[in-house]
Amino acid sequence: MRVTFEEVGNVLAAKLQSRGCSIVQSIQVGREMARNSLEGTYTHGINRFARLIRNIDEGIVIPDVLPSLVSSFGAIERYDGNLGLGVSNALYAMNRAIELAKMHGMGLVALKNTNHWMRAATYGYQACEAGFAGMCFTNTMPNMPTWGAIDSRIGNNPFVMAFPRSNGTHLIVDCAMSQFSYGALELARLEGRTMPIDAGFDESGNLTKDPDKVIKSQRIIPTGYWKGAAISFMLDIFASCLSVGNCVAEIGRLPGDEHGISQVFIAINYGVIAPEQDVELIIENALRDLKNSKPVDKNQPIIFTGEKTDTIRRENEKLGIPVDERVWAEICAL
């Protein structure tokens, strides 16, 4: 079935309000999670909503709180997220980084005791919509073995870099430090597909493309093998040390579903040092060259990430957001 963006947003907001969220917070978080589905990030939109409500009901996500300032110096600030909703906390933090960048050229906000921010790209786009370059990253519960290890002790720690374009098709990379998520492996298993490249180790320690074997061994691989393992660890160190919050190891020790995570938000007010016209020309030049690449498959032209999102959004705006009927029924009954 398909449901309009407006209806999805309204239903999610109403459910959040029923759990004690303020009207403003409910509308904000409901709309962002609806937008995630609208733009094709189905895993962190409607499909994740029931789990968020469960987390509120369990008391590990606290409704109707906002981050509180712990300490600040010039362009950098540290906040306690008070275990509030990850989406509203993260929007608050990136907004504050943007305000700092207006004053100081750039701003950094470190946030502890927060919760899952759903779609990482949201906060990159937020910076872009304000006309700023953005970077942000989060730690997670331990969900991946480091390189050379069997047991999961590092996080997949999504990382975002975003740069605005005046035409609204902002440039963005939003990538977790695991090569494939368990969600992607499970979908492939369901559809009887093998992965296009090695997706992890089997239980004997051999690299394999078979999603079933990787799900059984729980040994997914970091993005770029040892490289992503090292980047993941450093993202965790930056997020937990700058916020004085939980590191991945500590998050793994907390009882229940993932909560109490650490994040960093950076906004760069590049327009005050770089003429907008020059910047636009550089981006056009770089993009044109990339797209002039000789493709491996003539029917698969080279695209950059933002473009795919635009196509999906346009389709879902026209036809409504595709929703699994059982998932929608579960949400309506919450």
List residues with catalytic annotation. Answer: 44
The residues in 35-94 that bind a second copy, with binding defined as CB under 8 A, are 70-78
Considering only the stretches 11-19, 47-55, 83-91, 217-225, report the one whose residues sit in contact with a second copy under the rule CB under 8 A: 217-225
Interface with a second copy: number of residues (CB under 8 A): 87
8 A C-beta contact, residue 172 and residue 162: yes
The H or E element containing residue 211 is helix 211-217
What is d(CA 172, CA 310) in angstroms, rounded to the nearest whole number? 12
- CB count within 10 Å of CB 211 equals 25
Considering only the stretches 20-28, 60-68, 301-309, 324-332, report the one whose residues sit in contact with a second copy under the rule CB under 8 A: 301-309
Kindly state whether residue 209 participates in binding a second copy, applying the rule CB under 8 A: no
Looking at the Cβ atoms of 27 and 106, the one nearer to a second copy is 106
Phi-psi region of 255 (alpha: psi -120 to 50; beta: other; left: phi over 0): beta
- Binding mask 231-250 vs a second copy (x if CB under 8 A, - otherwise)? x-xxxxxx-xxxxx--xxxx
Q: Which of 190, 191, 255, 275 binds a second copy (CB under 8 A)?
A: 275
Kindly state whether residue 30 participates in binding a second copy, applying the rule CB under 8 A: no
**Least CB distance to a second copy at residue 14 (A):** 37
Looking at the Cβ atoms of 1 and 302, the one nearer to a second copy is 302
What is d(CA 185, CA 176) in angstroms, rounded to the nearest whole number? 14
- Binding mask 250-269 vs a second copy (x if CB under 8 A, - otherwise)? x-x---------------xx
CA angle (258 as vertex; 174, 69 as ends), nearest 5: 75
**Least CB distance to a second copy at residue 100 (A):** 9
The string over 38-72, giving b where at least 16 C-beta atoms fall within 10 Å of a residue's C-beta and e elsewhere, is bbbbbbbbbbbbeebbebbeeebbbbbbebeeeee
The residues in 148-177 that bind a second copy, with binding defined as CB under 8 A, are 148-151, 153-154, 159, 161-163, 171-173, 175
Contacts of 123 (CB under 8 A, 6+ apart): 90, 91, 93, 94, 117, 134, 136, 160, 265
Looking at the Cβ atoms of 24 and 286, the one nearer to a second copy is 286
* Residue whose pair of structure tokens reads 């993260």 in the numeric block: 90
Kindly state whether residue 20 participates in binding a second copy, applying the rule CB under 8 A: no
Kindly state whether residue 210 participates in binding a second copy, applying the rule CB under 8 A: no
8 A C-beta contact, residue 127 and residue 162: yes
Kindly state whether residue 99 participates in binding a second copy, applying the rule CB under 8 A: no
Name the token pair of 55: 């987390």
Kindly state whether residue 190 participates in binding a second copy, applying the rule CB under 8 A: no
Looking at the Cβ atoms of 18 and 71, the one nearer to a second copy is 71
Torsion of CA 154, 48, 183, 243, to 10 degrees: -20
Kindly state whether residue 319 participates in binding a second copy, applying the rule CB under 8 A: no
Looking at the Cβ atoms of 84 and 134, the one nearer to a second copy is 134
Q: Which of 108, 136, 185, 199 binds a second copy (CB under 8 A)?
A: 108
Query: 236 pairs with which residues across the strands?
Result: none
